[in-house]
Amino acid sequence: MSLTELTAAELSAKLRSRDVSAPEIARVHLDRIAERDAEIGAFLSVEPELTLAQAENAQRMLDRGEGGRLTGVPVALKDNLSTVGTPTTCASLILEGYRPPFDATAVALLRAAGAVFVGKTNLDEFAMGTSTENSVFGSTRNPWDLTRSPGGSSGGSAAAVCDHMAPLALGSDTGGSIRQPAALCGIVGFKPTYGRVSRYGLVAFASSLDQIGPLGRNVEDAALLAHAISGHDPTDSTSLPDSQIDLSGLKGGALRGLRLAAPRELFGEACHPGVRECVLSAVDRLRAEGAEVAEISLPSIDYGVTTYYIIAPAEASSNLARFDGLRYGPRLEGEGHVGTVAATRGRLFGHEVKARIMIGTYALSAGYYDAYYVRAQQVRARMTAEFEHAFGEFDVIVSPTSPVVAFPLGELSHDPLALKMLDLCTIPANMGGFPAISLPCGLSEGLPVGLQIVGPIRGDERVLQIAYAVERALAG
């Protein structure tokens, strides 16, 4: 069996028992990328020499008896995470040639832990999308069916993990961008509680919603990576003063007596019947294992997509103002200062990014601010309150992660509203900052379906523990 078949936890065990070396593991994954990625298109940059140097360093750590569970384990990084000295493009022309002078905190933590970076992965430009089709470098293909999208925006990370080019990857999740591609690629994706992972060095899209998180082929692997990147960081003022995500209870959960809530708004018309059936049958199996399941109503969910597509673009229109061609990235000359900035931005941002900047600028402009932005923030408050109320009665909320399975490339790219409606199930966790995970729960039309589990603020450990128990129940 090839080493690329193994999970991060298995690789870690083999490294520590000296059955295999870190450079050997790095090489087989680089070979897998060389062999497969022309077809998949998961990676935007791979620098084998840097990867092997990191692997040799990891092996030295292991030889000295140092390091932890990710020492020597390959990790792919979404290309909106700053990596010192190596290209960080956000899949945009406006960052062509840019090499950050610093590492994102999550990246620095992994580097210090001896993880081995195998490359930077494709995404929708600035993480704005649901299909990885908005990348200026072209779409990533879903390993389950190369004519279909891997989802997005962390589609490159999800496809890389799914296709065994790396056991683990980091993504970022603003409205579902870790969980939805994990669902469409049949892997696990976890968005921690807002603030448990530092956002420092993640190129900002919507700062009140963005969160970095792991993708892996099972819950334990995703949890290992979440543990490694979490913890308080003074360089991010929204970082929670909490300790690292604790994995000591990961395998100690039981389904018996667990109270699960299934909001009817996420099982309704918007949900494809095959997906609904698959998720309901998974929920039935959890019930058979002793979990209590109740149908509930969270009415504000129906307004989530609108709320998100006001708040996220509003924040993006402000965050992306920094891309002006003056301090980094290419500069296109125009008339005077304003003309130069406008020419650079007008030519080098892609269509979807410009569309969101336009929506956000409009929603924040005089005369519309109250009707759109303030109103959306009130809906956000109501949605958060509805979820918090539910968490008073239930342990977690379960639903489909995506209302559809992987869709054909090109099918929805001409229909921005239809594409945005696909974020229905994942948006609330970002609005309220709740921890949320997607794990595979079966197939519909031969393609993977994701089950989403959402918990209360700071319930990361509990969500991971429940997901671990659910994964075992569904496998058994």
Contact flag: residue 361 with another protein (CB under 8 A):
yes
Nearer to another protein, 233 or 471 (CB): 233
CA distance 251 to 259: 18
Exactly one of 14, 287, 375, 462 binds another protein (CB under 8 A); that residue is 375
How crowded is residue 357: how many other Cβ atoms within 10 Å of its Cβ? 23
Q: What is the set of active-site residues?
A: 78, 153, 177
Contact segment (CB under 8 A) with another protein among 42-50, 257-265, 282-290, 356-364 equals 356-364
CA distance 349 to 340: 14
Exactly one of 334, 411, 462, 473 binds another protein (CB under 8 A); that residue is 334
C-alpha to C-alpha distances, 188 to 118, 370, 381, 453, nearest whole angstrom: 19, 39, 29, 11
We find the least distance from the C-beta atom of residue 202 to another protein, in angstroms, to be 15
Total residues contacting another protein (rule CB under 8 A)? 75
The DSSP bridge partners found for residue 437 are 190, 453
Contact flag: residue 303 with another protein (CB under 8 A):
yes
Q: What part of residues 283-302 is at the interface with another protein (CB under 8 A)?
A: 299-300, 302
Exactly one of 17, 18, 252, 417 binds another protein (CB under 8 A); that residue is 417
In sequence order, what DSSP letters do the residues of 313-359 get, joined into one string?
A: HHHHHHHGGG-SSSSSS-----SHHHHHHHHHHHHHS-HHHHHHHHH
How crowded is residue 97: how many other Cβ atoms within 10 Å of its Cβ? 9
The DSSP bridge partners found for residue 81 are 202
**CA triple 296-301-303, angle to 5 deg:** 150
Q: What part of residues 110-149 is at the interface with another protein (CB under 8 A)?
A: none
Beta strands 292-296 and 259-263: pairing type? parallel
Asked whether the CA dihedral 460, 14, 182, 264 is positive or negative, the reply is negative
Exactly one of 306, 443, 462, 474 binds another protein (CB under 8 A); that residue is 306
Exactly one of 349, 387, 394, 468 binds another protein (CB under 8 A); that residue is 349
In sequence order, what DSSP letters do the residues of 219-278 get, joined into one string?
A: HHHHHHHHHHHBS--TTSTT--S--PPP-TTTT---STT-EEEEEGGGSSTTS-HHHHHH
Nearer to another protein, 163 or 460 (CB): 460
Exactly one of 59, 307, 438, 465 binds another protein (CB under 8 A); that residue is 307
Contact flag: residue 330 with another protein (CB under 8 A):
yes
CA distance 245 to 39: 36
Residues 6 or more apart whose Cβ sits within 8 Å of residue 416: 352, 355
Exactly one of 430, 438, 444, 452 binds another protein (CB under 8 A); that residue is 430
CA distance 7 to 316: 36
Nearer to another protein, 167 or 433 (CB): 433
We find the least distance from the C-beta atom of residue 421 to another protein, in angstroms, to be 9
Contact flag: residue 55 with another protein (CB under 8 A):
no
We find the least distance from the C-beta atom of residue 205 to another protein, in angstroms, to be 14
**CA triple 292-298-302, angle to 5 deg:** 135
We find the least distance from the C-beta atom of residue 214 to another protein, in angstroms, to be 19
We find the least distance from the C-beta atom of residue 436 to another protein, in angstroms, to be 12
We find the least distance from the C-beta atom of residue 271 to another protein, in angstroms, to be 19
We find the least distance from the C-beta atom of residue 220 to another protein, in angstroms, to be 26
Q: What part of residues 448-467 is at the interface with another protein (CB under 8 A)?
A: 457
We find the least distance from the C-beta atom of residue 316 to another protein, in angstroms, to be 11
Nearer to another protein, 257 or 336 (CB): 336
Q: What part of residues 84-113 is at the interface with another protein (CB under 8 A)?
A: 97-99, 101-102
CA distance 219 to 233: 25
DSSP 373: I
Exactly one of 243, 281, 297, 365 binds another protein (CB under 8 A); that residue is 365
Q: Are 296 and 399 in contact (CB under 8 A)?
A: no
Q: How many Å from the N-terminal Cα to the C-terminal Cα in the chain? A: 23
Nearer to another protein, 148 or 196 (CB): 196
CA distance 383 to 389: 10
We find the least distance from the C-beta atom of residue 413 to another protein, in angstroms, to be 13
Q: What part of residues 7-46 is at the interface with another protein (CB under 8 A)?
A: none
Contact segment (CB under 8 A) with another protein among 11-19, 54-62, 339-347, 447-455 equals 339-347
Q: What part of residues 192-231 is at the interface with another protein (CB under 8 A)?
A: 193-195, 208-209
Contact segment (CB under 8 A) with another protein among 39-47, 51-59, 111-119, 379-387 equals 379-387
